[in-house]
């Protein structure tokens, strides 16, 4: 399992979204480092994972609010993708009682952070920036 390093390729251009994506990557890397430590860190791992899930939820809410506010036409599709990701990751997490497959969860999050950001979020970023720019021009011209 590899660490995730932020680079400009991940940039959506929306400041708050980029900030949250960076924070998510850092949380992911910290969790990964914890997993690689020796010993029984079960309790702190569960806590870190819970923290990550909570932050993901906050992040999805932010994105969805921005999409709504900018009348994004792909909003429903994007929101469905968020829902799908949440339920998949939750299903993995719920196996906690049977001994959670941390590596499975991590590889899922790794793929999500890469693919969802690079494709779906960047697409919204392009739309959002154009939209905001158009509104700005409208204001200046009026």
Verify binding: residue 18, Fe ion, rule CB under 5 A: no
Binding map of Fe ion across residues 111-130, x = CB under 5 A, - = no contact: ----------x---------
Phi-psi domain of 31 (left: phi exceeds 0; alpha: psi -120 through 50; beta: other): alpha
- Pick the closer one to Fe ion by CB: 18 or 121: 121
In the bound complex, what is the minimum distance in angstroms from residue 140's beta carbon to Fe ion? 30
- The interface region with Fe ion, picked from 42-50, 63-71, 87-95, 130-138 by CB under 5 A, is 63-71
- Pick the closer one to Fe ion by CB: 12 or 102: 12
């Amino acid at each position: 399992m590899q660490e995730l390093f932020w680079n400009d390729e991940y940039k959506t251009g929306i400041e708050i979204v980029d900030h949250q994506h960076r924070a998510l990557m850092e949380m992911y890397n910290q969790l990964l480092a914890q997993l690689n430590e020796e010993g029984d860190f079960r309790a702190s791992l569960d806590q870190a994972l819970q923290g990550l899930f909570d932050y993901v939820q906050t992040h999805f809410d932010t994105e969805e609010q921005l999409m709504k506010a900018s009348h994004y036409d792909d909003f429903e599709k994007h929101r469905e993708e968020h829902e799908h990701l949440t339920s998949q990751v939750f299903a993995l997490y719920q196996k906690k009682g049977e001994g959670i497959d941390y590596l499975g969860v991590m590889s899922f999050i790794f793929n999500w952070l890469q693919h969802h950001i690079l494709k779906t979020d960047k697409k919204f970023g392009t739309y959002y920036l154009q939209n905001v720019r158009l509104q700005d021009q409208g204001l200046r011209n009026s």
